[in-house]
Amino acid sequence: MNLIFVIALSVAFVAVATPLDLNEDIIKLIKQHDEFCTKENHLSDKEIAKLKVKDFSSPSDNLKCFINCTLEKIGALKNGVIQEDHVLHVFGPLIGEETIRKIISKCGHLKGKSDCDTAFKLHECLEKLKHDASI
């Protein structure tokens, strides 16, 4: 599984166990921002490898800010706040508005010490929801 797909699952708020066919425009958008955010946040190969295997132990600030950068670039987050209308508009057709609303209700309240920390907490919450049968 490549990093683009890992990030696509998280930023698309689809870290749930439902099959998904991301359209090419969304994959292209995520890939473009993924590359920018990797460079912008000086993400190391070790950090990328940890993200690929979903190892969230001892996350670096670079990793947290990479996730924040990607979420902000696609419009899912702004200043640490989920942009619910945008997320519903862009990703609702892919996984359903009801699913997105459930995910936001379970994860949207999370706040960290910084925007980067908040983004990481959201990412971590999304990963945990993969095993939540109520989503």
String of DSSP letters for 44-86: -HHHHHHHHTT--SS--HHHHHHHHHHHHHTTSEETTEE-HHH
Q: Which residues pair with 77 in a beta bridge?
A: 82
**CA-CA distance, 31 to 27, in Å (whole number)?**
6
Q: Could you give the number of structural domains in the chain? A: 1
Residue 17 belongs to a domain: no
Residue 93 belongs to a domain: yes
pTM, to two decimals: 0.79
Count each helix (H run) and each strand (E run) in the chain, helices first.
7, 2
Quick check: 77 pLDDT over 70? yes
Supply φ then ψ for residue 58, to 5 degrees.
Answer: 45, 55
Strand 81-82 and strand 77-78: the pairing is antiparallel
Residue 38 belongs to a domain: yes
Model confidence over 3-48: pLDDT tens digits? 544 455 455 444 333 444 556 766 777 777 888 999 999 999 999 8
Predicted pLDDT at 121: 94
Predicted pLDDT at 89: 86
Neighbours of 31 (CB within 10 A): 16
Which has more confidence, 82 or 91? Answer: 82
Q: What is the CATH number of the domain that holds 96?
A: 1.10.238.20
Domain housing 81: 3-10+23-129
Element (H, E) at 32: helix 24-40
Quick check: 132 pLDDT over 80? no
Which has more confidence, 71 or 7? Answer: 71
Model confidence over 86-120: pLDDT tens digits? 888 887 887 788 888 888 899 999 999 999 999 99
Residue 122 belongs to a domain: yes
